[in-house]
C-alpha cells in the first residue's frame, strides 16, 4: 500500500469540498490532513486560528509534499469568515450534540456533497481541534453533522485520520473502479472451447495412467475436476502451460514405468 | 472527530479479518495500525519479521492503548507461517503486479470478506513494509489483491493510513447506521396539523402588518413561505418557539406603530 510514485499532479481542477481545520494545534496534524486530502484529490484547505500560526514548518514536513502541490492554504480568524462563500457546511463531530440537525455518516455525506456540487453548490467540511473538537457555536453554523460510525469502545481518531476517512468517502463516491476485476495482462481469458479441450486432454491422460479406478465414479470425479479447474478462470497462456504440465507428467510417468 | 471516550471494550468477539504486517520497519507504524484496527473493531494482528523485534515500545506508545486491548500480537518468521490457518488471503498493493489475480477495491474486498466470514472462512489481509510493499512471493500466496483507488498523482499512503482505510471499509460494510438521520432529542417532529396552524398564524400576523402589499401575489408568497418553513422539518418545541417569536415581533410592532 506504500508507494513512491509521487509525481507532479496536473494543475488542480478540484471541485471537491473545502476542508476547514478550526483551531488545529499541531502542525504535524495539519500536514497529515493535507497529505490525506491530496491522496483523495481534494486540494483546498482553510485554517481558522491555527495555534502556531501559518506557515508552519512541521506541517510542511508531515505533508510529504502535499502542501506544495495544493493551492495556498487560506487562514481566517473566525469560522464564520472561513465559511463566507460556502453554500453547504458539514461539521464533523465524534459525540452527539444536543442539536436538531441532520446527522450523516461519512458515506452519506459524500453522496450528498457530490449531489450538491453537481448542482453548483460550494461545500465545506469543518474539523475541530485535536482534543476538544468543534465548539457548539461552530457546529450551529453547519447545515449537517458528519459522524463516522466506529468501534464505540475505541472511537478516538486523530485529526489526520478523520480527514482521511471523510475525504476518502468523497473520492470513493465519485469513483468508477469496478469492485472486482481480473487483469489478464497480455494474455486473454481462455475460451470455453480451449478449456474443454484441456479438460479432455487431462482426463485422457488420467485414464491412461489408471487414475479412475472405479469406472462408475469417473463421471462425478470428472465433474469435480472440471468445477475446480473452472474456478481458476485460466488465461490462454495458462491453458498452454497446463497442457505442458500434462505432457511432461504423462511422459515422465510412461518413461519410468 | 477527536474524542476522549476510550473506555474498556468488552472481551473481543472479533470475527473480522486477521491483519498481517510483513516486514514492518517503524514501531510507530505498527502502533498506528493497531489503533486504526481497534477503531474499526478488528483486533487480531500478526507480524512477520518486524525489523525491530517485538514487543516494541514505540508501537505501544503510538497505539493509544489499542495494543493493550487487543489479544497478544503473534509474531512469525515467514509469511507462509503467518498464513497457515487462513482460508482466504488478500494482499494490499499500491502498484499493479504482473499477476493474473482478482483485484478488488477496499470496498469490494470488504464485502467479499463479510461473505466469506459468514460462511465460516478465516480471512487475512497482508500489508507490506513501509517503502517496498509486499514482495511478489508474498502476493503470490494471496488469492486476491486489494488496491485502493486514490489520486494517481499522489497515491502514497503510510502504513497506518492504509490499514485504517481497509479496516474502515470492513467495518462500514457491516454497519447498519442509516446514511442520514435527524435526531430530535426530547422533542418529537411536529405534526402536519401543528405546522399548518403555525403557517396560518404567521400569515395572519403578516397580513395584519401589511406584509402582503399586492393581494394577487399573496397566494404564491404564502406557498413560498410554507415551502421554506417546511424544509426546516421543525420539532414540536421549535414550533412553540416560532409561535413565541411571532407573538413578540407582532406585539412589538403593534406597540411601536
Collect contacts of B133-136 with beta carbons under 8 A, ≥24 apart.
B133/A1, B133/A2, B133/A3, B133/B93, B133/B94, B133/B95, B134/B22, B134/B91, B134/B92, B134/B93, B135/B22, B136/B97, B136/B99
Nearest by CB to residue B100, choosing from A4, A39, A184, is: A184
In order along its 257 residues, chain B shows pLDDT tens digits of 444 344 444 444 578 999 999 999 999 999 999 999 999 999 999 999 999 999 999 999 999 999 999 999 999 999 999 999 999 999 999 877 888 889 999 999 999 999 999 999 999 999 999 888 999 999 999 999 999 999 999 988 999 999 999 999 999 998 888 888 888 888 888 998 999 999 999 999 999 999 999 999 999 999 999 998 988 889 999 999 999 999 998 885 544 33
Give B-chain residues touching A98 at CB under 8 angstroms.
185
Nearest chain B residue to A133 by CA distance is B2
Q: Does A13 touch chain B (CB under 8 A)?
A: no
Rg (CA), chain B: 29
Nearest chain B residue to A187 by CA distance is B100
Spatial separation of the C-alpha atoms in residues A167 and A185, rounded to whole Å? 32
CA angle in degrees (0–180, nearest 5) for A170-A173-A177: 120
Q: What's the longest Cα–Cα distance across chain A?
A: 88
Q: In the prediction, which pLDDT does B255 show?
A: 42
- Taking CB atoms and an 8 Å limit, are A108 and B132 in contact across chains? no
Q: What is the ipTM of this complex?
A: 0.84
Q: Does A5 touch chain B (CB under 8 A)?
A: yes
Spatial separation of the C-alpha atoms in residues B198 and B207, rounded to whole Å? 14
Q: In the prediction, which pLDDT does B42 show?
A: 96
Contacts of A13 (CB under 8 A, 6+ apart): none
Q: Does A192 touch chain B (CB under 8 A)?
A: no
Contacts of B68 (CB under 8 A, 6+ apart): B60
pLDDT in tens, A177-215: 888 888 888 888 899 899 999 999 999 999 999 999 999
H or E element that contains A92: strand A88-92
Q: In the prediction, which pLDDT does B183 show?
A: 86
Sign of the Cα torsion B123, B129, B130, B135 reads negative
Q: Which residue reads 473481543 in cell numbers?
A: B12
Nearest chain B residue to A64 by CA distance is B156
CATH code of the domain occupying A18-173: 3.40.1280.10
- Taking CB atoms and an 8 Å limit, are B179 and A103 in contact across chains? no
- Taking CB atoms and an 8 Å limit, are A180 and B5 in contact across chains? no
Collect contacts of A107-112 with beta carbons under 8 A, ≥24 apart.
A107/A169, A107/A172, A107/A173, A107/B172, A107/B179, A108/B178, A108/B179, A108/B180, A109/A144, A109/A146, A109/A166, A109/A169, A110/A166, A110/A169, A110/A170, A110/A172, A110/A173, A111/A173, A111/B179, A112/A144, A112/B180
Q: Does A11 touch chain B (CB under 8 A)?
A: no
Q: Which residue reads 499541531 in cell numbers?
A: A26
- Taking CB atoms and an 8 Å limit, are B155 and A5 in contact across chains? yes
- pLDDT of A218 over the 90 cut: yes
Amino acid at each position: 500500500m506504500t508507494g513512491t510514485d509521487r509525481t507532479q499532479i496536473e494543475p488542480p481542477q478540484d471541485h471537491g469540498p473545502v476542508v476547514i481545520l478550526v483551531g488545529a494545534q499541531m502542525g504535524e496534524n495539519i500536514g497529515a490532513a493535507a497529505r490525506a486530502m491530496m491522496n483523495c484529490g481534494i486540494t483546498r484547505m482553510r485554517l481558522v486560528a491555527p495555534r502556531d500560526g501559518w506557515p508552519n514548518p512541521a506541517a510542511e514536513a508531515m505533508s510529504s509534499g502535499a502542501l506544495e502541490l495544493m493551492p495556498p492554504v487560506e487562514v481566517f480568524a473566525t469560522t464564520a469568515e472561513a465559511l463566507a462563500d460556502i453554500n453547504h457546511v458539514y461539521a464533523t463531530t465524534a459525540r452527539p450534540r444536543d442539536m436538531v440537525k441532520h446527522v450523516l455518516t461519512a458515506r452519506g455525506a459524500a453522496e450528498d456533497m457530490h449531489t450538491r456540487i453537481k448542482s453548483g453548490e460550494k461545500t465545506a467540511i469543518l474539523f475541530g481541534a485535536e482534543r476538544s473538537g468543534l465548539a457548539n457555536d461552530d457546529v450551529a453554523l453547519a447545515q449537517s453533522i458528519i459522524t463516522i460510525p466506529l468501534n464505540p469502545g475505541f472511537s478516538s481518531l486523530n485529526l489526520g485520520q478523520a480527514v482521511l476517512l471523510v475525504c476518502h468517502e468523497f473520492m470513493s463516491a465519485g469513483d468508477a473502479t469496478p469492485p472486482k476485476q481480473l487483469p489478464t495482462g497480455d494474455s486473454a481469458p481462455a475460451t470455453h472451447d480451449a478449456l474443454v479441450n484441456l479438460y479432455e486432454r487431462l482426463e485422457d491422460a488420467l485414464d491412461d495412467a489408471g487414475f479412475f479406478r472405479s469406472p462408475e465414479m469417473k463421471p462425478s470425479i470428472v465433474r469435480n475436476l472440471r468445477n475446480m479447474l473452472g474456478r481458476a478462470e485460466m488465461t490462454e497462456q495458462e491453458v498452454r502451460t497446463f497442457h505442458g504440465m500434462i505432457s511432461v507428467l504423462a511422459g515422465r510417468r510412461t518413461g519410468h514405468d
